[in-house]
Structure 1
């Protein structure tokens, strides 16, 4: 199933020990780029969370934010006395070496990492719940990417259908275009009162037909259109493949335009390029 790289998911749970809130948002990116923002006391979950992301996603910039608010009475502050004493001893040594050093500010001491700790509820339960909620949020994110991916696939298929119609129209126009060019050549000879050389006329028509021959380009356009449809039916990461096919379609449309000898085919080539550019913009969001 076609998946977008753009989605958002949010999960919140409240327990006696506090509140956990997960927010996951993803946008298009060339590769998978996970960004995790976790509370310090839950930082050890990061490795497992990254592995879960790799298992479910292939591309996209994915920002995962976890907020943890301890319940009242669960977050009283406790001083790490051994660490504080070590810090004070070190400060005494500094003041001995530097007599002019100012007195310690207690608030500054408390800001030293690890001196002030939170006597929170058993973190094992909080971590387990955080992992469960992450799984649910990730599943919701994947479902959102799939829904949007399905819509993108439909938009692309609509434009592929329009392209097929244009290719068929150009095929039908070619015989009439060549006949019109032949008649214009005859009229020009008659206007200039030039004696018509049948052999020369045939040579001119052969050259004209060779210049206007876009059958190969039309065949390749049909082939690429069918390949895009086939890729859209595949599962997994298909965005890069689709992007390559958009380049190939655009190349054939440019060649068709350069070989055009009348305004009709030039206009059809322009329409093709418009449709291809619209598809390319959508493809940038596909995983």
Structure 2
């Protein structure tokens, strides 16, 4: 069963005099990209969260936010002095640069400054944040369970689409094999007719050499290997879909091989029917590639 890289989950909790709200969401990505917005006054929380997320999630661009408030509302609010000083220095630099270019800026109010992220913190008055950190880490697995369940649900829908596309590729490959076999019979007749025409129209041609050249041309137009590899790729893709481990990277590589064979089939086609089947294959493979890019 595959999982999607797209997912979302939220959870609320309460312990050790605090209330909190988790929110986690993810979209597709080439690797694992973690973006956390968590209270920095809870010592050791962010690295612990990163470690847990890294064990639970293999791929995706993942955003986790956590809001923590002391029970009773505004109790425990304080100004982060270092952040405030950094903000004020930045504001001074911006104002100086604006004056230098003749631009007038509207004055900022205290409410504007306090509204900036990190200036006003809640709960930071608690000296020992270890109990709160422990409570949050204990609550995290339930959030990740809900998150994984949604990604699996999305993955089930992806798997159905991909399996249907594999069935379509298999059917088109079978049609291409039938068309190639029919073309082989007519190609043999055509080559013999061309050989006879060349020999009849020209003096001094080496009959053996001409026959060899025509035979090499026939070999170059043969698509048996491409059809065999397409069939093998279909079997390999189905086996990957049955794998319980994350297979998104391997499927992404495999779909490139699918497209390579379809391109070669088109270049060797030499018939409208086979060209049309090759183009249909490329269309389905490209659609499948779009789905596979969301697989973890």
For the aligned pair, the TM-score class normalised by the smaller chain equals 0.7 to 0.9
**Compared with structure 1, are the counterparts of its residues 76 and 64 closer, same or farther at alpha carbon in structure 2 (3 Å cutoff)?**
closer
Cα shift readout 1:77-113 (whole Å, capped 9, x = no counterpart): 589xxx9xxxxxxxxxxxxxxxxxxxxxxx9xxx9x8
Task: Indicate whether 1:283 and 2:278 are aligned.
Answer: no
Counterpart of 1:22?
A: 22
Segments of 5+ residues of structure 2 without an aligned counterpart are 82-109, 202-206
* Bigger Rg, structure 1 or 2: 1
| Structure 1 residue corresponding to 2:173, chosen from 167, 183, 188 | 167
Cα offset, 1:188, TM superposition:
9.5
For 1:65 and 1:229, the matched residues in 2 are separated by 37
Task: Indicate whether 1:229 and 2:238 are aligned.
Answer: yes
The question of whether the paired residues in 2 share the 8 Å contact of 1:3 and 1:150 is answered with yes
**Compared with structure 1, are the counterparts of its residues 13 and 179 closer, same or farther at alpha carbon in structure 2 (3 Å cutoff)?**
same
Segments of 5+ residues of structure 1 without an aligned counterpart are 84-106
Cα offset, 1:220, TM superposition:
0.6
Cα RMSD, aligned residues only: 3.6
Task: Indicate whether 1:217 and 2:252 are aligned.
Answer: no
Cα offset, 1:58, TM superposition:
1.1
Q: SS at 1:42's partner residue?
A: coil
The question of whether the paired residues in 1 share the 8 Å contact of 2:39 and 2:68 is answered with yes
Counterpart of 1:7?
A: 7
Cα offset, 1:187, TM superposition:
9.4
| Structure 2 residue corresponding to 1:245, chosen from 237, 254, 273 | 254
Cα shift readout 1:209-257 (whole Å, capped 9, x = no counterpart): 4343101110011111111111111122211111111111101000000
For 1:65 and 1:251, the matched residues in 2 are separated by 42
Cα offset, 1:208, TM superposition:
6.0
Task: Indicate whether 1:45 and 2:55 are aligned.
Answer: no
Counterpart of 2:142?
A: 136
The question of whether the paired residues in 2 share the 8 Å contact of 1:17 and 1:121 is answered with no
Cα offset, 1:206, TM superposition:
4.3
For 1:147 and 1:33, the matched residues in 2 are separated by 22
Task: Indicate whether 1:158 and 2:164 are aligned.
Answer: yes
**Compared with structure 1, are the counterparts of its residues 208 and 240 closer, same or farther at alpha carbon in structure 2 (3 Å cutoff)?**
same
TM-score (norm 2): 0.73
Counterpart of 1:59?
A: 59
Aligned residues: 253
The question of whether the paired residues in 1 share the 8 Å contact of 2:2 and 2:159 is answered with yes
Counterpart of 1:266?
A: 275
